[in-house]
Structure 1
């Protein structure tokens, strides 16, 4: 029975793919005088899908760019994908010809068509919903920036630092909570929904990632009934939960406004003049605000995690950054007004986005009509990828591109140098935020969060690779902050020193950026993030594994319980000659690429400064600034209920 069902499904897949290829070939007839874009030949039906690794696929696409040129095409299971490795070509097409290159491709795993639903502005095609929501986004971002984002990043930075002092082993979770809390405040005026916002972001990221939900890998499954396709049922529950969450948050702000105590937020801006935006229905405003909340929670934490990674592998730059912070800020935390005087901090942030871009494949555009470029034919219906990984590694613009080097933004000898240094370097309008009419409108939020967040971490902590910690420092890690400091000078409370791993930043709990390979299927058992997402998987995931001949024996022997690359190299004699994976390239496989959690030393530079941060935090908490996280779906986050958290 199982075999016959498999054969039926396989037959449907083959017929659908062949029909798609037939239609695609008719559409892609090359006009006289033009050439077909170069690219790999691929295989029947599947195209080049078997040649694209699920892990770090952006590196493979970048290698193809070196082989076939800065613009080439790849057939992926019948869809034509055009990859652009040149900033100039991306501007020539996606910016200068934005009238035909500004649509978005269809995302099969989403139940409502992302191009027309108006639910997700960054994924909406160029239509009326896109126009009115973009107008709304321009207003809320401009007003927030004028108000210095209501000082929300500075407020949440204090809580972030205290959490890092108390539990440095949870650094990944802490950094993502910092971003989520700031974004919640901007969106709705309060931070209590930060855990829920992170979960909404996790689930949507799975739904939109090519390597995420099964519906994006096998689109025909979305036409089958829910009971036959668990991934489709999962997506339906996700969409319903998301909608209800946005409705709850909108109603909460309405209640705050009625009671005359609503903090400044994007939702308040919408509700104060809800008739000004031309939204077609009430819920459109809820989605317009909620989507910006999700977008912030998805992406901004990645460069902060990259900063930790970079400081471990390029430690020479941390003292330079700390010297600048000491000179400008002294014994107080960084503020928004410090921006013009912190060029090295801005260079660090800019280099984090270049060295390990959060969206290395770029956000795809969709071509709505045939076009030509330098004698090449680009067929309508092509998915256009500005390949950020390759664009940020152009050796002419970025000498020694694989090295993390913030000085390339500060020294006149580099082609990236710009003046005045009170303004440059800046991440505003960098290629990572997109091209043409699809440029991200939340750049200012990201810029402010990263300046305050990374600046605060460097101001308070030293960061080192775990392997660099000496035996004496290892003893320090066991005995608390007071080791290597005279006991009479140590004023930190013992509650901050009881954790044995108080200097080790290894996040043992999964977060937005955790690996998607865990095999367990149990949902979280508590509202607390301490119980979230550990050993969970999501519909459609499969193990990311090297299926080369070297590892065939392991696959057979372990029955699929794969080990890390380092473990393979150590245990497999045939693999010892293979080049080890670059530890700075251990990234997640979804659309937003984040460093997988790793071990490092996170040590407060000055006990008195750390104690002062705790004092500032307590003062803000006494004023009611820090509320606890709120649950929305009851016991076990709605496990087995109609609404609640899905398995991720």
Structure 2
């Protein structure tokens, strides 16, 4: 039986391959008078797939742009992909010709067709579902911005700072939790579902990433039965869990509204005028809200982690940021009204997004009919990539592009300098948020979260790189040992409520493991370090070569490998995850409080918020062990 199944699969692959080659050759015929786009030729059937490293593939695509020009094409496993490394060309095609360039490519690994399901606005093709959800998104984002996002970022910044003081080794958790909690409050009015939202985001990110779910690498598998393809069964469970989560969250807001105690949220806006939006299926409103929650849960945290990375390797800019924050904010935390007076902070945020873009390959568009550009033929059905890594490195716009330099936005003479400095620099409407009709509608949320989040961290902390001579057994982030006792690893002793009550509002390593602890200890996903439990006695050995195509390895390198590595130039700032959303892998740095008085004040502010019931712990949704072995729950990622 197994042998027959194997023969069937092989036969199916052969038939699909031949059919794809036949239809592709007909579809890609170049009309008379036009030229074929240049690009690497690759191999029969699989194209350039063997030449593209899984790690930092965007660098390879950018290298090809230097060889073949600002727009080129390549075959990736039978599909034509067009890569654009020029902002002007991207605008000419993706924005000015948005009528034919605004669709999205099919994502094979998703159970429901992303183009038509009306589940994920960023992934929808240009259809009725896209139109009505886009109108809804416009309203909820506009109303949120008008109300300064209900001060949710400023509220959660205090909890984030306390978590960083208590457990600096968990900086990734603190930054991602800050974003997830703010997004949860915006979506549903409460923060208790933040860990669950992060998991929903992680699993969906696996499903939509070309290097994530197996169904995206081998699409034919999605046509086979679930029992034969565990990856398909995993996706079906993910989709069902996500649906139930969105339904549950909508139900809870409905209950809060009946009791007239619902905080402001996007879901409340939807329910206040449920019939206004014209949604076509029962849970479309729940998905319209939940999708915006997922979109912000992890993506906005990536630039915050890049900020820490940049400050380690370009320390000359942190004192300049400290000076601006001290002058404008003094001994209070940064707030939304400070924006016009913080141009250097905005420059640092802008440069973080340019230097290490969270989506370096760009969100792809899909061409629905043949087109031409400058005498070149662009065939219908091409997947179009605005290659953000290359666009953000145009030397005419960004001199010395590989260097992190926020001064390029605030000193006259740079191509990127703009006035007035009360408005510029800004991240709003930059290329990283997309082109034309597919511009991200949540960019105002990202802008506010990054402004408050990064400003709060710099207001309280020093960030310093650990010398390379530091033993590899030290933790990823090290607090100043002389100040540990002063920081108060418990909570502020002067608080009027108990330490136990304070700890109820944050994630703690003491006692019962939290949801995040479970994830970190039991799960791993593409692009992360290997599970520490599988490392035995070997230390983690991250790779960070520009042209590296190798996955991270838990094997201890040989002496010859170490010698070879020592001869090569290694960029320690290029250890990034391999999924569609790229974020820095864990790295080592010192995180120390700048001012003990400020640290004490933050703890008091947080304690007062806990006493008012503003901070609550995350909750579980699926029972014991996150629903392992049950129809709904966390999937191994």
- Is TM-score (shorter-chain normalized) higher than 0.5? yes
- Counterparts of 1:545 and 1:27 in 2: how far apart (Å)? 43
1:281 is displaced (CA, Å) by: 1.9
- Counterparts of 2:112 and 2:570 in 1: how far apart (Å)? 39
What are the superposed Cα offsets for residues 63-112 of structure 1, whole Å, 9 maximum, x if unpaired?
00000000000100110000000000000000000000000000000000
What are the superposed Cα offsets for residues 292-313 of structure 1, whole Å, 9 maximum, x if unpaired?
0000003100000000000000
1:568 is displaced (CA, Å) by: 3.8
- Counterparts of 1:2 and 1:47 in 2: how far apart (Å)? 30
Q: Is the 8 A contact 1:526 1:636 kept in 2?
A: no
What are the superposed Cα offsets for residues 171-228 of structure 1, whole Å, 9 maximum, x if unpaired?
0011000000000000000000000000000000000000000000000000000000
User: What is the match of residue 502 of structure 2?
Assistant: none
Label 1:570 to 1:387 Cα distance change in 2 as closer, same or farther (>3 A). farther
Unaligned runs of 5+ in 1: 484-489, 498-524
Q: Is the 8 A contact 2:527 2:579 kept in 1?
A: no
User: What is the match of residue 347 of structure 1?
Assistant: 347
Q: Is the 8 A contact 2:409 2:417 kept in 1?
A: yes
- Counterparts of 1:106 and 1:491 in 2: how far apart (Å)? 54
User: What is the match of residue 514 of structure 1?
Assistant: none
Label 1:315 to 1:6 Cα distance change in 2 as closer, same or farther (>3 A). farther
SS at match of 2:490: helix
Q: Write out the 4+ residue segments of structure 1 that deviate beyond 6 Å after TM superposition.
A: 1-4, 468-471, 476-479, 539-546
Label 1:541 to 1:408 Cα distance change in 2 as closer, same or farther (>3 A). closer
How many residues are treated as equivalent by the alignment?
601
User: What is the match of residue 562 of structure 1?
Assistant: 553
SS at match of 2:584: coil
User: What is the match of residue 512 of structure 1?
Assistant: none
Label 1:298 to 1:17 Cα distance change in 2 as closer, same or farther (>3 A). farther
Label 1:129 to 1:167 Cα distance change in 2 as closer, same or farther (>3 A). same
- Counterparts of 2:229 and 2:573 in 1: how far apart (Å)? 37
Q: Is the 8 A contact 1:214 1:539 kept in 2?
A: no
User: What is the match of residue 593 of structure 1?
Assistant: 582
- Counterparts of 1:25 and 1:337 in 2: how far apart (Å)? 58
Q: Is the 8 A contact 1:14 1:45 kept in 2?
A: no
SS at match of 1:74: strand
Out of 608, 612, 618, the position equivalent to 1:629 is 618
What are the superposed Cα offsets for residues 367-412 of structure 1, whole Å, 9 maximum, x if unpaired?
0000000000000000000000000000000000000000001111
User: What is the match of residue 515 of structure 2?
Assistant: 528
Label 1:413 to 1:169 Cα distance change in 2 as closer, same or farther (>3 A). same
Q: Does 1:572 align with 2:561?
A: yes
- Counterparts of 2:372 and 2:581 in 1: how far apart (Å)? 31
1:8 is displaced (CA, Å) by: 4.3
SS at match of 2:573: helix
- Counterparts of 1:236 and 1:281 in 2: how far apart (Å)? 20
User: What is the match of residue 171 of structure 2?
Assistant: 171
User: What is the match of residue 209 of structure 2?
Assistant: 209
- Counterparts of 2:2 and 2:8 in 1: how far apart (Å)? 10
Counterparts in 2 of 1:121-136, with a 5 A limit? 121-136=121-136
1:495 is displaced (CA, Å) by: 2.9
Q: Does 1:229 align with 2:229?
A: yes
User: What is the match of residue 314 of structure 1?
Assistant: 314
Unaligned runs of 5+ in 2: 493-511, 531-540
SS at match of 1:534: helix
Q: TM-score, normalised by structure 1?
A: 0.89
1:536 is displaced (CA, Å) by: 2.6
Q: Is the 8 A contact 1:527 1:631 kept in 2?
A: no
Q: Does 1:584 align with 2:573?
A: yes
User: What is the match of residue 501 of structure 1?
Assistant: none
Q: Does 1:299 align with 2:299?
A: yes
- Counterparts of 1:41 and 1:537 in 2: how far apart (Å)? 35
Label 1:569 to 1:460 Cα distance change in 2 as closer, same or farther (>3 A). farther
Q: Does 1:619 align with 2:620?
A: no
- Counterparts of 2:314 and 2:515 in 1: how far apart (Å)? 35
When the two chains are superposed, the root-mean-square deviation of aligned CA atoms in Å is 2.7
User: What is the match of residue 641 of structure 1?
Assistant: 630
1:263 is displaced (CA, Å) by: 0.3
User: What is the match of residue 596 of structure 2?
Assistant: 607
SS at match of 2:521: coil
User: What is the match of residue 138 of structure 2?
Assistant: 138
Choose 327-336 or 459-468, whichever is displaced more. Answer: 459-468
User: What is the match of residue 261 of structure 2?
Assistant: 261
Label 1:526 to 1:634 Cα distance change in 2 as closer, same or farther (>3 A). farther
- Counterparts of 2:154 and 2:566 in 1: how far apart (Å)? 49
User: What is the match of residue 487 of structure 1?
Assistant: none
- Counterparts of 2:578 and 2:430 in 1: how far apart (Å)? 23
- Counterparts of 2:524 and 2:582 in 1: how far apart (Å)? 17
What are the superposed Cα offsets for residues 513-534 of structure 1, whole Å, 9 maximum, x if unpaired?
xxxxxxxxxxxx9653112143
Q: Is the 8 A contact 1:527 1:637 kept in 2?
A: no
Label 1:304 to 1:357 Cα distance change in 2 as closer, same or farther (>3 A). same
Label 1:343 to 1:629 Cα distance change in 2 as closer, same or farther (>3 A). same
- Counterparts of 1:271 and 1:571 in 2: how far apart (Å)? 64
- Counterparts of 2:568 and 2:46 in 1: how far apart (Å)? 29
SS at match of 1:377: strand
What are the superposed Cα offsets for residues 105-131 of structure 1, whole Å, 9 maximum, x if unpaired?
000000000000000000000000000
SS at match of 1:585: coil
Q: Does 1:387 align with 2:390?
A: no
